[in-house]
Structure formats: C-alpha cells, structure tokens
C-alpha cells in the first residue's frame, strides 16, 4: 500500500461528533459571550515527524471552505427537531476561523491551542484530533491493514455484539485512523449490525449513511458551569440549563465530571425521572451500575425503565461482562470508539484536546478542571483541582 502525503481535507462541516452540535446549540442560546481556551495533550508521548506542524497548519487553514449544505441542514431539521431553526440558520452561516488555532512544533513534540468565543471554538476539538491522526500515520510511514481486513474485523465484532443481544453505537471520530477507515466501519456496521447497531456520533456519516446521529453533552459543559457558578452548583445548573434548551430530548446525563458520587447526590428525583439515563465514562463499570441501580430504587424509579450508556474504552470482553451483570436489572447500551475506528494493526494515538480555561461574560479568565472517577486521573490546573476536591469533599 502506498503512503499518501497529501494534505487531508475534511468532507463536511458535519464531520464532527453530534454532542458538539448539541452543545453548540445550547451555548449559542445561553452563553453567546463566553470565551474558551483548549489545549492538545499528548498523553501517549508520541513523537511527531518533521514538518508535522506545518502540514497540520495547512489542513486547518483549508477548513475555512467548509459550509453546511442545504441538504445537510434539511437532514438536521428532520432528524433533530429539537434543534431550533434559528440555530440551523446560524450553522448554515458558520465557518471555521483558523486564527483561533495556534500550532507549533518543537523537535518531535506538537503544540496545539485554541482560543475564542465558546460558541465558535467548541467545534474545533474533534476535527483537529481526526486530522492529527489522518496526518500522523502516513507521515510516520506507518501502513495499516487492507480495506478488506478492516471490514472483516468490524464485521466480526458487530456479529459478536449481535450474539450478545446488545445495542452498540459508534463513537470513534476523535481517534479514528482516517476518514476512509471510519466510513468503512460505519458501512460495515450498518450492513451487518441490524438489530444491534444504533447509529454513529459522526454527523456527516450519519447523514451520508442514513443512520441516527447519537450524543448529548460532554465534560466541558459541566466544567464551564463549575467555573461560572461554583463547583457545588455545576451539575445541578448544567442539567437545568440542558433541560431548559432541549425540554426532555437528549436525555442521557454525563455523570463523572466531578465524580459520580457527587453527581448522584445532586441527581434528585426530578432529574432522575426526567432524564432517560446516565452515561458512564470512567471508573469501574460494574460498581457504577450497582450504584446507579441503587439510586433509582432509592428514588422509587424502576431501573429497567432507565438506561446506562457505557463509553469508557470498551472492547468485547468488557461489554460482555457489563451486559451480563446488568441483564434484567437496568437498560444498557454501548458507545464504542477507538476499538472500532482505529483497529487497523497500528497503535492508536493516545491524545485529547481539553478545555483548560473559560471567560464567562463580564468575568476574568479562570481555569476549568475535571475530577474523574479514576483516582489520579483528574485533569486541569493543579491548584484548582485541589480547590474543587476541598469544596466537594473528594479524597482520591
């Protein structure tokens, strides 16, 4: 297989995860004057080849040409009626501003940061990460398995999930090997996953392949609320504002921005009944399921009427163990990312882009942090992490 060094071009403004669209809608509506900063974090300490920063800069600059098409706008209008017509008009006029992104390279280390109005910069994270992988493998002379093998691996996986009787969504845009592999995966899951494959987080591929776009909100939603309103109010106001915008749609709540224990203490009977379920993204999934089931029972809600969406570094063995435990106790579904879209015989990049600071309207810049259910995996400014742990009485 030949190695292609051409600069990649994203195919659509919608080549992004759905939760970025839904959060952007909420930010446009509620926080249009808030600003945000994001930072690329190279968790895997990967070495980037010479010229990588220049190539990424060229790919980012090319994103100015992306526009929402009338056909794409109609797809969102029909498929996602909870997105306001005013927001869809805004999105039709939106274009990326590369000046919001700073890229540099020192030796083999890549530095990427983003700054601007939150309603604009919120869309950068996912396509930037996708472009980094798209460039990394060919520029590092790393060749993947064949298209046929990619399809075979995905077909085998979805076949095993169908045998388990579980519902699977594809969540792999951010760390996919490439757009081509991603499209092969969604094609294969749709073709062979009937009854199990629920849809994809990638809005472009959901439209192109006519499957459901899936997602609600991410950690940054609650991280902003902590900075703006205080750590004790972050979950409550984050959920209230979500309900204010979406009125009961998009009802899976992310639970682990400031540990699930803190979240569940604030997930009162109103939220428990209103939200369709919760998403698990860190910590032991079985312990999480036990705690969520107990919470619903304590609130007088039948756990089998609710759903846990598991999305933390899943593979078949993990899914099978979770499904066996939850069977007959609570509804479950699974969002699988890198294990679908970057299982091509190469090491996936271990990287993230995280919001690091926010400037709410009329206030100064302030750091944002996340306190994971995984001890020692808190992210953000260390002094602010310690402050949050003190305020929230978190000891790990």
pLDDT tens for each residue of 183-218? 999 999 999 999 999 999 999 999 999 999 999 999
pLDDT tens for each residue of 318-357? 999 999 999 999 999 999 999 999 999 999 999 999 999 9
Residues 177 and 278 occupy one common structural domain: yes
Q: Flag whether 75 is in a domain.
A: yes
Residues 337 and 382 occupy one common structural domain: no
Residue 238, domain CATH: 3.20.140.10
pLDDT tens for each residue of 1-41? 333 457 899 999 999 999 999 999 999 999 999 999 999 99
Residues 230 and 365 occupy one common structural domain: no
Residues 277 and 363 occupy one common structural domain: no
As a whole-number percent, the residues of the chain with pLDDT over 70 amount to: 99
Q: What total number of domains does the chain contain?
A: 2
As a whole-number percent, the residues of the chain with pLDDT over 90 amount to: 96
- Contact call for residues 308 and 280 (beta carbons, < 8 A): yes
260-269's contacts with Cβ under 8 Å and 24+ in sequence apart are: 260/288, 260/291, 260/373, 261/291, 261/394, 262/235, 262/371, 262/392, 262/394, 263/235, 264/291, 264/292, 264/295, 266/235, 266/236, 267/235, 267/239, 267/295, 269/299, 269/300
Residues 171 and 22 occupy one common structural domain: no
Q: Flag whether 284 is in a domain.
A: yes
Residues 280 and 360 occupy one common structural domain: no
Residues 179 and 326 occupy one common structural domain: yes
Q: Flag whether 209 is in a domain.
A: yes
Residues 171 and 258 occupy one common structural domain: yes
pLDDT at 325 (0 to 100): 98
Residues 248 and 384 occupy one common structural domain: no
Q: Flag whether 10 is in a domain.
A: no
pTM (predicted TM-score): 0.96
Residue 56 lies in domain: 18-143+347-389
Residues 216 and 284 occupy one common structural domain: yes
pLDDT at 2 (0 to 100): 32
Residues 154 and 282 occupy one common structural domain: yes
């Amino acid at each position: 297989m030949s190695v292609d060094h051409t600069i990649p071009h994203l195919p659509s403004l919608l080549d992004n995860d759905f939760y970025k669209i839904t959060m952007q809608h909420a930010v446009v509506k509620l926080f249009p004057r808030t600003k945000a900063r994001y930072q690329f974090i190279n968790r895997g300490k990967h070495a980037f080849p010479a010229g990588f920063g220049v190539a990424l800069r060229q790919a980012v600059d090319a994103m100015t040409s992306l526009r929402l098409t009338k056909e794409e706008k109609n797809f969102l209008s029909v498929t996602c009626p909870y997105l306001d017509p005013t927001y869809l008009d805004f999105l039709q006029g939106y274009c990326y501003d590369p000046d919001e992104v700073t890229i540099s390279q020192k030796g083999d280390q890549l530095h990427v940061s983003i700054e601007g109005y939150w309603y604009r910069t919120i869309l950068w994270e996912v396509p930037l990460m996708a472009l980094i992988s798209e460039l990394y493998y060919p520029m590092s002379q790393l060749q993947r398995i064949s298209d046929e093998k990619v399809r075979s691996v995905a077909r085998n996986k979805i076949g095993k999930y169908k045998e388990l009787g579980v519902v699977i969504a594809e969540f792999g845009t951010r760390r996919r090997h490439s757009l081509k592999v991603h499209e092969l995966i969604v094609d294969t899951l749709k073709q062979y996953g009937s009854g199990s494959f629920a849809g994809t987080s990638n809005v472009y591929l959901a439209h192109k392949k006519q499957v459901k776009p899936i997602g609600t909100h991410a950690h940054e939603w609650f991280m902003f609320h902590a900075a703006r309103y205080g750590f004790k109010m972050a979950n409550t106001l984050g959920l209230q504002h979500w309900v204010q915008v979406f009125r009961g749609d998009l009802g899976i709540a992310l639970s682990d921005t400031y540990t699930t224990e803190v979240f569940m203490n604030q997930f009162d009977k109103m939220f428990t009944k209103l939200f369709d379920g919760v998403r698990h993204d860190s910590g032991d999934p079985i312990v999480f399921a036990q705690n969520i089931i107990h919470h619903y029972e304590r609130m007088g809600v039948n756990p089998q009427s609710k759903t846990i969406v598991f999305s933390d570094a899943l593979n078949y063995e993990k899914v099978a163990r979770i499904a066996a435990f939850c069977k007959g106790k609570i509804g479950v579904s699974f969002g699988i990312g890198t294990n679908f879209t970057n299982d091509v015989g190469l090491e996936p990049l271990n990287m993230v882009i995280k919001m690091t600071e926010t400037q709410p309207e009329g206030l100064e810049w302030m750091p944002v942090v996340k306190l994971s259910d995984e001890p020692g995996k808190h992210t953000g400014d260390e002094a602010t992490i310690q402050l949050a742990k003190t305020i929230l009485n978190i000891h790990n």
